[in-house]
Structure 1
């Protein structure tokens, strides 16, 4: 009987063990099935989200003046999704006030881009890939947080307009940018430049330059190398004097120098016959010059004379010359009197 009981007990234990193993296998299989279902569910959700984003972006595409433009205004897009690459035929990006943090590296895929306007965002960096956009004509990055411009930007050989205003901490440009031979319009205002970058002076096609609101203390002596420049904004800087060679800028017709620390005006600027508008307002100039009253003008003739403009500049130079002559004559008279006294 003892042997029978022992045998019966062993059979029961074996059956119980096999049951537990089978149950364990079933539970493991169920977990795997659930896991696969969860992954599939997550993938399905992700695909659905990507399709929704793509649909939103597609609504932002529109034809304007024969160009396919991606326009996003005042919506939150801190990061541009990778699915945007499906619209590489876009020729213009107009993305403003979205909180955009960076320009995606896949920007290099948009070889049809003519205009990239990301003004008024929070972009902190210009990627090197930007240099592959050889057809790009306008790059507008004002009112962002850019501190550094890569030398690769010089690869944008078709660039005509570059705006980097109000990036605050931007204070230098790579010398390679002198190779932007087609650049005509450059806005570097409201940054932290203390010197006019050498590459800017060397840009052969530059016509319009805004360096207002920086910390410029002097201008380069070879500023006349900017032969095609017709408009130069230098307001709100720390300039104490102007280089004599500024008078050799033959194409210059607009020069704004208000709110600096200028004490004098170079006499040779009197010969700048092409200079139509100049502004010396709010400078501690050595002499006080008041323009004479104008003759009464016809009622339909507007008196648009700028108090500290071109007429003021010419009168200031003439007055300075008269005073110099007077001082020289006085010196000569005194010298004659001294010589006579010695005899």
Structure 2
């Protein structure tokens, strides 16, 4: 009986010791969590104070400006500055746009150019007041359809995102979008959504892999500036002549062999550039009088509008000559 009592006493002692150790360990964990929480709160305060030093007021807007500092991620405490109207964060190595971006309902301009951003979060579509989204010189491969929720967007710049090659059709609903820069990407065709944009005035698709243009390109009725340099275009659609608002057309460094004769009727076209194309005809502009040359040479583009008109006239003359030759031979 005495042995049983001793055994029970030993078990009780071991149990009490174990419970004490467990309680002590739990208390230590709680203390560690409190310590980490205090450190985290302190770090957030320091970070927030640092961010507040980056705030500036420009043209009546509250701007967060960070340049050439290392900020690969943006801290959660930034949400306390949700009154900011413009982000200007450049050359920081930023890798990700935080999902809490949707909390910045006052945001008008989001400029994260020249970073390492790889994706645009779907939450960005909740920024209904956003006017400018500038993400050139990043690593974006995909644009979410949710971006169409930014129905106040006027300017979209996605230049130099090497692997970007398509846009979602839903972006065609952005009724205020006027300026789009998709240069130096990997587009092989003009995104269909661009043709549906009713307010589009300025488009840069230079430095892509475009092999052709859509036949209904004239649907971009408001477009006045179109940059298509350094692509692989071999011909132009006839309907390009129906783009009544177009006044600037850059086609240098493509594979064009002909200029559509109907372009002669594009009276609103002020500037055009056909430089560095393998055009079939060799046309040289006539020299001008010295006085006129001194006065106007700076405005004269050797492969510009005057060249285009002369090329079309020369092509027409040669076509007539061929027809006359056939008539004589008959």
**TM-score w.r.t. length of structure 1:** 0.89
Residue 173 of structure 1 corresponds to which residue in structure 2? 167
Residue 152 of structure 1 corresponds to which residue in structure 2? 146
User: Which residue among 69, 87, 93 is the counterpart of 2:87?
Assistant: 93
State the shift of 1:13 in Å: 11
Residue 313 of structure 1 corresponds to which residue in structure 2? 308
Residue 225 of structure 1 corresponds to which residue in structure 2? 219
Within the alignment, does 1:332 sit opposite 2:288 as a pair? no
Within the alignment, does 1:72 sit opposite 2:62 as a pair? no
What are the superposed Cα offsets for residues 126-178 of structure 1, whole Å, 9 maximum, x if unpaired? Answer: 11111111111000011111111111111111110000111111111111111
Question: How far apart, CA to CA, are the structure 1 residues paired with 2:257 and 2:23?
Answer: 88
Q: Which runs of 5+ in 1 are unaligned?
A: 1-6, 336-343
Within the alignment, does 1:294 sit opposite 2:288 as a pair? yes
What aligned pairs does 1:84-123 form with structure 2 within 5 A after superposition? 84-123=78-117
Question: How far apart, CA to CA, are the structure 2 residues paired with 1:158 and 1:14?
Answer: 77
State the shift of 1:41 in Å: 2.2
Question: How far apart, CA to CA, are the structure 2 residues paired with 1:317 and 1:285?
Answer: 11
Number of aligned residue pairs: give it: 328
Question: How far apart, CA to CA, are the structure 1 residues paired with 2:12 and 2:169?
Answer: 79
State the shift of 1:190 in Å: 0.6
Return closer, same or farther for 1:211/1:13 CA change in 2, 3 Å cut-off. Answer: closer
Question: How far apart, CA to CA, are the structure 2 residues paired with 1:160 and 1:225?
Answer: 19
Residue 190 of structure 2 corresponds to which residue in structure 1? 196
Return closer, same or farther for 1:177/1:22 CA change in 2, 3 Å cut-off. Answer: closer
Question: How far apart, CA to CA, are the structure 1 residues paired with 2:293 and 2:234?
Answer: 41
State the shift of 1:40 in Å: 2.6
User: Which residue among 35, 38, 45 is the counterpart of 2:32?
Assistant: 38
Return closer, same or farther for 1:55/1:323 CA change in 2, 3 Å cut-off. Answer: same
SS in structure 1 at match of 2:123: helix
State the shift of 1:247 in Å: 1.1
Question: How far apart, CA to CA, are the structure 1 residues paired with 2:150 and 2:230?
Answer: 31
Question: How far apart, CA to CA, are the structure 1 residues paired with 2:10 and 2:137?
Answer: 75
Question: How far apart, CA to CA, are the structure 2 residues paired with 1:198 and 1:297?
Answer: 48
State the shift of 1:268 in Å: 0.7
**TM-score w.r.t. length of structure 2:** 0.92
Question: Which one has a bigger Cα radius of gyration?
Answer: 1
State the shift of 1:274 in Å: 1.0
Residue 127 of structure 2 corresponds to which residue in structure 1? 133
What are the superposed Cα offsets for residues 18-56 of structure 1, whole Å, 9 maximum, x if unpaired? Answer: 999888777666555544433332222121111111111
Q: Which runs of 5+ in 2 are unaligned?
A: none
What aligned pairs does 1:255-294 form with structure 2 within 5 A after superposition? 255-294=249-288
Return closer, same or farther for 1:17/1:309 CA change in 2, 3 Å cut-off. Answer: closer
Return closer, same or farther for 1:63/1:195 CA change in 2, 3 Å cut-off. Answer: same
